[in-house]
Amino acid sequence: MLPINHDPVEVKPPDAEIRLLTLNCWGIPYISKNRLERMDAIALKIIEQSYDVVCLQEIWSRSDYERIMTKTKEKLPYSHYFYSGIHGSGICIFSKYLIKDVMFHQWSLNGYVHKIHHGDWFGGKGIALCKLDVKNINVNVYVAHLHAEYSETMDEYKSHRVLQAFDTAQFIRLTMDSADVALLGGDLNTEPSGLEYCLICGLTGLVDSCNEHDLGTSETPKNTYTCKKALKKCPKGKRIDHILYKGSKNYKVIVSDYNHPFPHKVPGKTFSYSDHDAVMVHLNVIKGSEDSLEEVDMRESLQKAIAIGQDALTLGKKQRLGYAVIVGTVLIPLLWSITDDTLLSDLNINIAFNLFRCFMVILLFYAVFMITMWYNLEKNALKAGISAMEIILYNLNRKFA
């Protein structure tokens, strides 16, 4: 388990205080239940509770972002929506403090284009960065939403999520040198015991603001959108929404408070604010060097991540072979149907046969696409992640030799 550092409360008044909120808003148009009412309720709650920074995920509709922005702009005048993919990244940030700069890094692995019912690929997810000026303190706020785990027993997206976590850690590690404070908030779709969590914290030095590991944020018992099946597996829910932090040689960060600030139901309604619980942390930023933590040996975690990537490459080759079989199976009857029109004298048979041809052509193009373009896209993304991890692992082996 990675260390969680909570220093004792300082007597010295802080140079700055940051109250940060993160929430996965479950804002899928036409699918998410009570979406518009919940968006209004979320905006109202943000107004009622004085936050300095708010990080939201799954805001898939531009109108929902504008809806919240309009209602909160007096208290949080600065905001930014991160556009990406086909539907947008779903990530946005609202800030009391000036946003000096922004950047978005889209992950090269983002789910599967043909898994339309999951939809992660269409969002073009990635890691977002906002540079804030908080009372002349440079604060990097990162927001991320990693790929969902749709099945614990058959997690076909494990390699994608692990590579996303590594990519997130690399992006943060390589962009936070100029920051006095680095903060990461979002739905990371990993519990503290997960490999993805270990990669993000271990490679960046970010520290968890929560010290209660059995405190759930998703599929919690009092959330009205939690199904009974999920509660049987995990009665307290899963803690997959996190706020992580790191100070610097100039400033140290102390956790003053951590809680789930929203009530279980929207007042006067029968439903919750989202299918996730909101997470809030109150941080005190004090001038002085951040206390150094014992360095975590990341070699085992990297070896596991590399093995997962290599297994995904092997699986990809097998799937490619399967699609090649589909091409061969479809191509032969399709060519036969083009050259032989003896059965098409009857109009109804003619229509049915042409519909069959159309279906076979679509299936053929789909299989060819998966064999060529999609296979190479996923293969190269996996190889890029694996090779980068191997470089870090090589240097760690030399260091600890």
Note the Cα 256 to chain centre separation in Å.
26
The catalytic residues are: 276
Q: How many residues does the chain have?
A: 401
What are the backbone angles phi and psi of residue 281, rounded to the nearest 5°?
A: -135, 140
